[in-house]
Amino acid sequence: MAVSTVLEAGPQAASCEFERPKPFNLFIFGATGDLTKRKILPSLYQLNTLSLLPEDFLIVGSGRQKINTEQFRQQMREAVRNAASTSGEGVSGFNEGKWEELAGRLHYMTLEGPGSYSGMLAQCAPLEERYKTCRNRIFYLAVPPSAFGDVIKNLGEAGAATEVFPDDAGEKKGYSHIVVEKPFGRDLESARKLNGILRGYFKEEQIYRMDHFLAKETVQNILMFRFSNSIFEPVWNNHYIDHVQITAAETLGIEHRGGYYEESGVLRDMFQNHMLHLLTLTAMEPPSVFSTGRVRGERTKVLRSIKPLDPNGMDEFLALGQYGKGRMDGDVPAYRNEPDVSPKSTTATYAALKLEVENWRWRGVPFYLRSGKRLASRRGEISIHFKPVPHTIFREYTGDKIEPNTLTLCIQPDEKLDLFLQAKQPGSRICLGPVRLDYIYLKGIATADYARILLDCMQGDQMLFASAEEVEASWELLTPVIKKTESIGLKDFFPNYEAGSNGPALADALLAKDGRAWDPL
């Protein structure tokens, strides 16, 4: 039986709270949409509840829906109440007083065409004066990916990218940041085109390409854990590590996103951003200094070091799946029977991918990535599987095999670190067994991932956002494979795993031929 040791945060935890940002005006495009209601407004409410917003700020929602500010506030109030009732965004309970504080800063403006962007900025000028936002502006694109280009162009033509020039002291008086949600393009060509549109109006230091996965506490802690502890970094290489597994398993289906998912699929939705970001943080070299440019540069180097994927030999590194019907707290329909999904869809809802990083540190260490919907459990983790001891002196008692050490960085549903060691079990006989040491994040310290992302953008910190080079490098790796999978006939091949299972048998075979197995879900 494993022994668990729970390590709580030390006394320094109280001093690790976020600092309040400077005053700002947050523009939300697509303000009446699902993303705003489920993520953005509940996160802003949480930040306000935790007193992490400045005293002076303004939030301007915009969209095509013709409603007034009071109607917008009422919609957002219901959205925040729903989030509070489910604790989906780290919001614990609903406080009417805290909501009124936030609601008083909410305004709404209807956009009716490209020319209305200039009018919106002009209408906001008196509000910015009233709320003393110091001309600090954040433009958040909570719109469908197909609308990114048009919104960026309209903002650029309206002069929204122009920042206030420095004063005599050399300090910038006002910034303009633009936040673009994933997916950032559909392939390498479209990503380059979108980067070109952005850079046509905004400077790279103004652009925040968002992946909320990077804001999760355990993900952020990867670098701290690796580079602050001398007992780990010396063994973080191919001399001691056998392989790495990265998992993002979901019990949910596509929910209400059938139209989007049909155009995306699991490789675009999860691998181009979340999964590859987790890989780069795990495999990157230590930067000379902990700065945004250096860290992003090292992440990009990892992507450039991954062995190119040959689309003509996909059986060697890729397994795809699509869920069929099954039982998960009741009957669950097959993907092809979900709303807005083609009954003959060949869109993959599951993928397992084997990648190799070809550099001195990782040569010969495979990275196995898997992500899918309607799986047996919700699990997000990175597990480092160390090599077995070279010679066991306990063969007489344990046989030839002692389970190697494993380090697991759990991202969801619980954020924690698990280290599995071997130790003698109590008793008169010599019996080895696993001992688990774990660090569990205390509830109440961490903010929701979207809240952290918003706060970083307010503070001008791009560490958790992808650079143009990272985005293009990831698409360069995956685009040939995506195009190949979309060109082959999978109509009769799918579905190939039941909802509520561990995924398709092909994924197990991918590791089995290497003599390995997936961690249990």
Backbone angles phi, psi at 155, to 5 degrees: -65, -45
Report the pLDDT value the prediction gives residue 347, as an integer from 0 to 100: 94
Per-residue pLDDT of 393-433, as tens digits, reads 666 666 667 788 899 998 888 888 888 887 777 766 677 77
- Rounded CA-CA distance 283/369 in Å is 13
Q: How far apart are CA 428 and CA 451, in angstroms?
A: 53
Residue 183, judged by CB atoms within 10 A of its CB (0-12, 13-18, 19+), counts as buried
Q: Where in the chain is the domain with CATH 3.30.360.10?
A: 214-512
Alpha carbons 347 and 260: distance in angstroms, whole number: 11
DSSP state of 442: P
The strand pair at 331-332 and 326-327 is best described as: antiparallel
Catalytic status, residue 274: yes
Rounded CA gap, 377 and 379, in Å?
Answer: 6
* Gap between the Cα atoms of 97 and 103, Å rounded: 10
Integer Cα distance of 410 and 432 in angstroms: 25
pLDDT at 90: 47
Contact (Cβ atoms closer than 8 angstroms) between residue 40 and residue 140: yes
Nearest to 127 by CA among 180, 69, 175: 69
User: Tokens standing for 272?
Assistant: 């181009």
Of 92, 104, 15, the C-alpha closest to 55 is: 104
Instruction: Find where tokens 């002069």 sit.
Output: 159
Q: How do beta strands 241-249 and 379-386 pair?
A: antiparallel
Grouping H, G, I as helix, E, B as strand and the rest as coil, residue 306 is strand
Name beta bridge partners: 84: none
pLDDT at 8: 45
pTM of the model: 0.89
Give the CA count within 13 Å in the CB-facing half-sphere of 53.
Answer: 22
pLDDT at 400 (0 to 100): 60
pLDDT per residue of the chain (521 residues) written in tens, 0 to 9 = 344 444 444 444 444 566 788 999 999 999 999 889 989 999 999 999 888 999 999 999 999 899 999 999 999 999 999 887 765 444 557 888 899 999 999 999 998 878 889 999 999 999 999 999 999 999 999 998 889 999 999 999 999 998 865 555 555 578 999 999 888 999 999 999 999 999 999 999 999 998 877 777 778 788 888 898 888 889 999 999 999 999 999 999 988 888 889 988 999 999 999 999 999 999 999 999 988 899 999 999 999 999 999 999 999 999 999 999 999 988 999 999 999 999 999 999 999 999 999 999 999 999 999 999 999 999 999 999 999 888 776 666 666 677 888 999 988 888 888 888 877 777 666 777 778 888 777 654 445 778 888 999 999 999 889 999 999 999 999 999 999 998 887 778 899 999 999 999 999 999 999 999 999 98
**What does the angle CA 245 – CA 305 – CA 187 come to, to the nearest 5 degrees?**
85
Both tokens of residue 96? 């009417």
Task: Return the bridge partners of 209, or none.
Answer: 180, 466
What are the residues facing 140 on neighbouring strands? 28, 179
CATH homologous superfamily for 19-210?
NAD(P)-binding Rossmann-like Domain (3.40.50.720)
Q: CB neighbours (10 Å) of residue 2?
A: 13
Q: Alpha carbon 478 to chain centroid distance?
A: 18
| Lookup result for tokens 């550099």 | 359
Asked if residues 321 and 506 have their Cβ atoms less than 8 Å apart, the reply is yes
Domain with CATH 3.40.50.720 in the chain: 19-210
- Reported as a single tens digit per residue, the pLDDT across 190-244 is 999 999 999 999 999 999 998 877 777 778 788 888 898 888 889 999 999 999 9
- CB contact set of 35 (below 8 Å; sequence gap of 6+): 142, 181
Catalytic residue among 243, 274, 277, 385: 274
Domain 214-512 listed as CATH 2.40.70.10: no
Q: Closest by alpha carbon to 56, among 67, 48, 64?
A: 48
Asked if 414 and 222 touch (Cβ cutoff 8 Å), the reply is no
Structure tokens of 148? Answer: 């990114």
Grouping H, G, I as helix, E, B as strand and the rest as coil, residue 421 is strand
Q: Which structure tokens are listed for 434?
A: 């696993």
DSSP class per residue in 206-237: GEEE--GGGGSHHHHHHHHHHHS-TTTGGG-S
Two tokens, residue 419: 């280290």
